[in-house]
Amino acid sequence: MDTRQQALFIIFGGTGDLAKRKLYPSLFELYEKGFLKENFAVIGTARRPWTDEYFQEVVRKSVTVEGTSKEDADEFAQHFYYQSHNVNDTEHYVTLQKLAQRLDEKYSIGGNRLFYLAMSPRFFGTIAEHLKSQKIVTDNGYNRLIIEKPFGHDLPSARELNDSIGRYFAEDSVFRIDHYLGKEMIQNIAAVRFGNNLFRALWNNRYIDNIQITLSEALGVEERAGYYETAGALRDMVQNHILQIVSLLTMNMPASFTESDIRREKIYALKALQVYTPEQVEENFVRAQYAGTSGLKGYRQEEQIADDSKTETFVAGKLFVESENFSGVPIYIRTGKRLAKKTTRIDIVFKDVPKNIFGPEKLGKNILTIIVEPEGEIYLQMNVKKIGQNFGLQVQKLDLLQSENDDSPVPEAYEKLILDALRGDATNFTHWEEVAYSWKFVDAIRTAWDKKEGPLVEYTSGSMGPHEADDLLAHDGHKWVFSAED
């Protein structure tokens, strides 16, 4: 028997949105693909007084889409058990320990446990402590803690949170989820960079002019307004997803494609981020809020948002990784809500050829674009000859649309990450040191912003942000490769 298929999942926040929308469907996919078979069980816990039967019904519903086999969904749901549990109440952990022990025996699980904390981080320390003190962690198998963002709201709070977990779980058993790391095209960055001599040779400050990273959303804050008002785009998107992408784009080639070597290089890249002074923040970062339009509320008019809120729904910035290979390469980032289009993309803009023998017209730029969403795509912009008697050049794109070249279904990020956690592979999870260096960078920006008086600039819904975000690049003689018209 493959012991990696033996696992007891204990999901804290088992009645919540994340569990229903992402975790149960991902576990079902793993079940359907044979990564989970007979020897697994799932305990869902939360305060609501659900029964096992009701919980199984919720699970069946959440995994059923068009074409789902009813028989498979029924069989899968039978592995699910519910325990009503307030995480602050020690008594409940006693019951949980007994249930876990019973299921471990019933399904011959051998002590392997994955604790998924799909709830507010303010409970993480308490849960970790009780898992240890009430002996819900086992001696005979592995015990892994999977935790969700946000990991703190600044470096001191993140450190406090990390200490509260670290007292009971060693770093190598803590799996911090950043679901962007489970995305197929984000994982493709390493394949493109280190699998092709062409790019390996060019991937440095001698050939790369600038890098652009865009994570744009078309929707406003919607039902997440309460949380968003306390976070803002900088904490919600830059501290984690964007800086993780920056580290994957700028890390040195790892000695091997293994967890420890990759993480070492990512940590080094994040450590090399230039941390800004307040004056540099002013020069290099832009924040803004979306304005209302006819029919759509502006950010400050949304429910649960203060009339004088200074929470940014858009950030653009220029940052530098001061490593040997990337020193001097501007990395432009932007993210925001109510923008022209939902997309995640990376544009690597290469330097011009040293001498243009075709002049006087300027040559088009070589740009490598990696589109992560909505559909996985990679293209390379090149100059080629225009067909005809005369010699003229034109810009063309070599295009690789993932879905056209490979019809294997793209697995959900959560599915891939849960499988990694089952296998004990933390490559695509965030190490504490990555979290710490990211906060250090972000805190410098937040601190400078918090001292600034006056309202934020506004941008039109459906645009790509305020003109200040374009000015940031124009100032360096650059422009965003992706625009609202694309």
Q: Is 467 annotated as a binding residue?
A: no
Shortest CB 282 distance to ligand NAP, Å: 30
Nearest approach, Cβ of residue 437 and ligand NAP (Å): 21
- Residue 128 or 469 having the CB closest to ligand NAP: 128
Instruction: With contacts defined by CB under 6 A, name the span among 11-19, 191-199, 415-423, 439-447 that binds ligand NAP.
Output: 11-19
Classify the C-alpha dihedral 194-198-201-203 as positive or negative. Answer: negative
Q: For residue 435, how many other CB atoms are within 10 A of its CB?
A: 24
Q: Is 87 in the site for ligand NAP (CB under 6 A)?
A: yes
Minimum gap (Å) between residue 181 Cβ and ligand NAP: 13
Kindly state the smallest distance separating residue 124's Cβ from ligand NAP, in Å.
9
Which residues within the stretch 88-107 sit at the binding site for ligand NAP (CB under 6 A)? Answer: 88
- Least separation in angstroms between residue 229's CB and ligand NAP is 14
Q: Cβ of residue 134: shortest distance to ligand NAP, in angstroms?
A: 15
Instruction: Give me the 359-398 binding string for ligand NAP, x by CB under 6 A, dash otherwise.
Output: ----------------------------------------
Using the rule CB under 6 A, give the single segment among 144-152, 286-294, 355-363, 384-392 that binds ligand NAP: 144-152
What ranges in 406-466 are assigned the alpha helix state H? Answer: 413-423, 432-450
According to the annotation, is 292 in a ligand binding site? Answer: no
**Residue 152 contacts ligand NAP per CB under 6 A:** no
Q: How far apart are CA 323 and CA 320, in angstroms?
A: 9
Does the annotation list 37 as a binding residue? no
Q: Is 17 annotated as belonging to a binding site?
A: yes
Q: Under the criterion CB under 6 A, does residue 13 sit at the interface with ligand NAP?
A: yes
149 binds ligand NAP (CB under 6 A): yes
Give the footprint of ligand NAP on residues 111-140 (CB under 6 A): 118-121
Q: CB under 6 A: which stretch of 13-21, 251-259, 308-316, 442-450 binds ligand NAP?
A: 13-21
Stretch that binds ligand NAP, among 143-151, 202-210, 249-257, 422-430 (CB under 6 A): 143-151
Closest by CA to 218, choosing from 470, 469, 463, 482, is: 463
Choice from 4, 16, 52, 207 touching ligand NAP (CB under 6 A): 16
Q: Which stretch binds ligand NAP (CB under 6 A): 68-76, 84-92, 342-350, 400-408?
A: 84-92
Query: Per the annotation, does 337 bind a ligand?
Result: yes
Q: How many residues bind ligand NAP (CB under 6 A)?
A: 20
Q: How far is CA 114 from CA 58, 147, 165, 389, 439, in A?
A: 21, 11, 15, 67, 27
Strand 377-385 relative to strand 367-373: parallel, antiparallel, unpaired?
antiparallel
Residue 217 known to bind ligand? yes
Question: How far is residue 268's CA from residue 325's CA, in Å, rounded to a whole number?
Answer: 12
Residues with Cβ within 8 Å of 470's Cβ and at least 6 positions away in sequence, in order, are 479, 480
Closer to ligand NAP by Cβ: residue 121 or 465: 121
Q: What is the nearest approach in angstroms of ligand NAP to the Cβ of residue 89?
A: 8
- With respect to ligand NAP, which residue has the nearer C-beta, 123 or 379? 123
Structure tokens at 458: 């506004």
Segment near ligand NAP (CB under 6 A); pick from 9-17, 270-278, 301-309, 421-429: 9-17
19 is in an annotated binding site: yes
Cα 14 to Cα 85: distance, rounded to the nearest angstrom? 10
20 belongs to an annotated ligand binding site:
yes
232 is an interface residue for ligand NAP by CB under 6 A: no
The reply, when asked if residue 365 is annotated as ligand binding, is no
Q: Catalytic residue positions?
A: 241
Sheet holding 457-459, edge to edge: 393-401, 377-385, 367-373, 343-350, 208-216, 331-336, 314-319, 285-290, 457-459
d(CA 286, CA 466): 9
Write the DSSP assignment of 101-124 as a string of letters: HHHHHHTT-TT-EEEEE-S-GGGH
Q: Decide if 24 contacts 43 (C-beta within 8 A).
A: no
Which position's Cβ is nearest ligand NAP?
A: 16
Strands 331-336, 285-290: pairing kind:
unpaired
Taking residue 280's Cβ as centre, other Cβ atoms within 10 Å add up to 17
Residue 148 interacts with ligand NAP (CB under 6 A)? yes
The residue assigned the tokens 């002590």 is 111
Amino acid occupying residue 157: S
Q: What are phi and psi of 163, to 5 degrees?
A: -65, -40
- Interface with ligand NAP, residue 4, by CB under 6 A: no
Neighbour tally for 306: CB within 10 Å: 9
3-state secondary structure of 450: helix
Q: Is 25 in the site for ligand NAP (CB under 6 A)?
A: no
* 46 in contact with ligand NAP (CB under 6 A): yes
What is the C-alpha to C-alpha distance for residues 285 and 466, in angstroms, rounded to an integer? Answer: 12
Closest distance to ligand NAP from the beta carbon of 22 (Å): 6
355 is in an annotated binding site: no
Please say whether the beta carbons of 205 and 325 come within 8 A: yes
Which residues belong to the annotated binding site for NADP(+)?
Answer: 13-20, 47, 149
Q: Which residues bind ligand NAP (CB under 6 A)?
A: 13-18, 46-48, 85-88, 118-121, 148-150
